[in-house]
Structure 1
Amino acid sequence: MSQRELVILGTASQVPTKQRNHNGYLLRWDREGLLFDPGEGTQRQMSFAGVAASGITRICITHFHGDHCFGLPGVLGRFSLDGAPHPVDVYFPASGEVYYERLVDSSADHRQVGLQPHPIAGDGELPPPGADFTLRAARLSHPVEAFGYRLDEVDSLRFVPERLRELGLSGPIVGELARRGEVEIGGRTVTLDEVSEVRRGQSFAFVMDTRLCDGVHELARGVDMLVIEATFVDADERLAVEHGHLTAGQAARVAARAGVRTLVLAHFSQRYRTLDQHVADARAHFGGEIVMAEDLMRIPVPPRR
């Protein structure tokens, strides 16, 4: 069985707390490991979470504020120490390329992993070499250039056992049908469409540090899991807009409108002692599964529909 889960490495916003590390989110997707926004302390959180640097295949940075990227040098150092048997693709806003270069060469450590940088200049599909999914970016609304990410597994076909039995298909001829798209049996041609149905691929979106904008809705549309910031409570919406962030209620309305299955709220401001009001604000707008992200939590990607 494939393993697809989100490992939460950090959930704080600008200032970490005793309970919350700076950002860090690792999406484990079969043989892939996508690390989103490695903030300060991500390497240490990986140790607590029991995840190895060698399992990371891609790094996606939404923007170059420190709480979303200061952990990159430590993660790269961990690559060199633990070994990474593969190149690592790194995605980031093209306007921040100078910061990316400073981060990857911020110390005298000898880097022993091949990085493949992919600066993002605008909305659209990104190159995911060797992946069995598509990866897209969409521009967000923040004081510095920022992009969110969306992963989509390609739809596939699966056989419907009842239809196979009705037409007397079993054994090697079923494999032949899968390869050729049609077979002859009992004097008639049976096509693949007659005995199969679409198996919808799973999807995931990651949205951090943004006001409401078209990119937020585009990324969230119909995904199985949406990880989205909820920095402020609804009563502080003015502050959210001023600083380029979302409230819990706004994030929940996005999820409801988009038909999201599992909503993961994260990136909480240190100004709040508890998340009780975040929960109330979100629940007022979204009736599906809501997860208030906590450091070191593991959240399974919802099973296929």
Structure 2
Amino acid sequence: MSNRELVVLGTASQAPTRARNHNGYLLRWDGVGFLFDPGEGTQRQMIRAGVSSHDIDHICISHFHGDHCLGLPGVLQRLSLDRMPRPVHAHFPAAGTEFFRRLHRASAFDEVAEVRERPVERGGTVFTGAFGALEAVPLDHRIETFGYRLVEPDGRRMLPDRLARFGVRGPDVGRLQRAGSLRVGARTVSLEEVSEPRPGQRFAFVMDTRLCDGVFELAAGADVLVIESTFLEQDARLADEYRHLTAAQAARVAAECGVRCLVLTHFSQRYPDPRRFRDEAAEVFDGQLVVAEDLVRVPVPPRR
């Protein structure tokens, strides 16, 4: 199993269908779990996908339209039912704080889990941890909406042949990584001599917006971009009116921003054939393309 993968829990937009649940996306990232936009039915979709409440460390809400948040009460109550042993951080637009609290207290339950509210005011870095930084960027929808990006810091890749040449082995490799240099015999070996730069990976999540600077900012250099494509280009005027994206627009963003894996989702029920989204996006984007389906798993591509 990949240490970094996206588990898709739901892919519908305003109305679910027989084949598509409301939104829900769990990103597993080296043992840290990020649950994005838990729509109605997320708790059951988690069970179907083999996802535990204990897999969740962060909940990220893009905005407070129902298809992106009505599963929140069940998820929060399940954390307590399962006696989650560590705090869960909830990120959401500050303008929707009252909605979050109403959803949190939608019914009576014995709250055992600790849920820490982290309302997002203007964007920027909203949390840092061993995984890197979680960032939020404003989008252009009918109510306050944020996209999210996970940014791993740049590091260095150790080169076995150079380590062997300089006689660095075993626990000394870790000591060299931590200290930046290491005395080996009669000389000091620097980290730069036995390694090369390793760009950090990026994951971006873009929901419910029309094209704006924030979309491109989030997508820049993303290894995985999960992005709404509610409409097809034939309905571009309707997409703009409701402040959504088309599949062609989402693909254009991916192509211009150097995205490696494009995941299209949040499909309107008006289009019964998902192949049309793939065909439209493939005309613009020639990278890895996933037209998301409920319960699929999308591994984060290996490092470049």
TM, length-normalised to structure 2:
0.95
Distance 1:6 1:191, change over 3 A: same
Structure 2 CA distance for aligned equivalents of residues 48 and 256 of structure 1: 33
Which aligned pairs between 1:133-152 and structure 2 lie closer than 5 A?
133-152=132-151
Aligned to 1:237: 236
Which aligned pairs between 1:2-21 and structure 2 lie closer than 5 A?
3-21=3-21
- The secondary structure found in structure 2 opposite 1:127 is strand
Contact kept in structure 1, 2:30 and 2:131, CA below 8 Å:
no
Aligned to 1:293: 292
Aligned to 1:281: 280
CA RMSD of aligned residues (A): 1.6
Which aligned pairs between 1:69-108 and structure 2 lie closer than 5 A?
69-108=69-108
Instruction: State the percentage of identical aligned residues.
Output: 59
CA deviations over 1:189-227 (Å, ceiling 9, x no partner): 332111111222221000000000010000000010000
Give unmatched runs, 5+ long, in structure 2: none
Distance 1:2 1:299, change over 3 A: closer
Structure 1 CA distance for aligned equivalents of residues 170 and 141 of structure 2: 57
* One-letter amino acid matched to 1:40: E
Is 1:47 paired with 2:64? no
Which aligned pairs between 1:150-189 and structure 2 lie closer than 5 A?
150-171=149-170, 173-185=172-184, 187-189=186-188
Distance 1:53 1:171, change over 3 A: closer
Distance 1:96 1:164, change over 3 A: same
Aligned to 2:68: 68
Report the more deviating stretch, 164-173 or 91-100. Answer: 164-173
Aligned to 2:252: 253
Structure 2 CA distance for aligned equivalents of residues 21 and 72 of structure 1: 14
Which aligned pairs between 1:188-267 and structure 2 lie closer than 5 A?
188-267=187-266
Distance 1:237 1:197, change over 3 A: same
CA deviations over 1:88-111 (Å, ceiling 9, x no partner): 100000011110111001111122
**Deviation for aligned residue 1:174:** 4.1
Distance 1:83 1:282, change over 3 A: same
- The secondary structure found in structure 2 opposite 1:280 is helix
Structure 2 CA distance for aligned equivalents of residues 172 and 73 of structure 1: 47
Structure 2 CA distance for aligned equivalents of residues 110 and 184 of structure 1: 57
Contact kept in structure 1, 2:29 and 2:131, CA below 8 Å:
no
Distance 1:194 1:292, change over 3 A: same
**Deviation for aligned residue 1:184:** 4.2
Aligned to 2:126: 126
Structure 2 CA distance for aligned equivalents of residues 111 and 144 of structure 1: 30
Report the more deviating stretch, 175-184 or 229-238. Answer: 175-184
* One-letter amino acid matched to 1:289: Q
**Deviation for aligned residue 1:123:** 2.2
* One-letter amino acid matched to 2:197: V
